[in-house]
Structure 1
Amino acid sequence: MTSRKTLLTALLAVTLGSFAAVGHAASDTIRVVTDATFPPMEFTQAGQRTGFDIELTEALAKEMGKKVAWTDIDFKGLIPAIVSGRADAAMSAIYITDARKKVVDFTDPYYAGGLVVLTKKDGPIKTLKDLDGKKVSVQVGTKSVKFLQDSFPKVVRVEVEKNEEMFNLVEVGRADAAVTGKPAAKLYAQHNPTLTVLPEQITTEEYGIAVSKAQPELTKSFNEALKRIKANGVYQKIVNKWFEASAK
Structure 2
Amino acid sequence: MTSSPTGGSAPEEGRYGEDLFAPEHPREAERIDAAALVFDPVTTRRLRALGAGPGSRCLEAGAGTGTVARWLLDEAGVDEVVALDRDTARLNALAGPRLRVITADLTDEALRPGGFDLIHARFVLMHLPQRRRIVTRLAKWLNPGGWLVLGDALEVPDPTDSTSAYRRTMDAMWQALRSTIGTDISSVPAYPHFLREEGLRDVAAELVGPPLVAGSPLALFWAETWRRMRPALEETGLVDAVVIDEALAYLASPRLAELGPGMAMAWGRRG
Task: Judge same fold: TM > 0.5, yes or no.
Answer: no
Q: TM-score, normalised by structure 2?
A: 0.30
Q: TM-score, normalised by structure 1?
A: 0.32
